[in-house]
Amino acid sequence: MHAVAGLLVGAIVGVTGVGGGALMTPILVMLFGVAPTTAVGTDLLYASVTKMFGTAVHHKAGTVDWQIVRRLALGSLPAAALTLAWMHFSHVGQLRSGLITFTLGVALVVTALGILFKAQIHSLGTRFRLGDSARFKAMQPAMTVLCGVLLGAMVTLTSVGAGALGTAMLVYLYPLRLSAGKLVGTDLAHAIPLTLIAGMGHLALGNVDLALMLNLLAGSIPGVVIGSYVSTRAPVGPLRIAIAFVLLFVAWKMVAR
Q: Who's near 236: CB < 8 A, 6+ residues apart? A: 15, 16, 180, 184
Please say whether the beta carbons of 71 and 186 come within 8 A: no
Would you state the pLDDT for residue 91?
66
Would you state the pLDDT for residue 10?
80
Phi then psi for residue 207, to 5 deg, are -105, 25
Name which of 256, 74, 247 is nearest 163 in CA terms. 247
pLDDT digits (tens, 9 = 90+) for 34-81: 988 899 899 999 888 888 888 888 888 898 999 999 999 999 999 999
Name which of 49, 19, 88, 35 is nearest 195 in CA terms. 49
Measured CA angle at 227 (ends 172, 107), to 5 deg: 50
Helix (H, G, I), strand (E, B) or coil at 208: coil
pLDDT < 70 regions, the chain: 17, 19, 91-99, 231-236, 257
Longest dimension (CA), the chain: 53
**Cα separation, 100 vs 161, whole angstroms:** 15
Would you state the pLDDT for residue 3?
86
Q: Say how far residue 233 (Cα) sits from the centre of its chain.
A: 22
Would you state the pLDDT for residue 78?
98
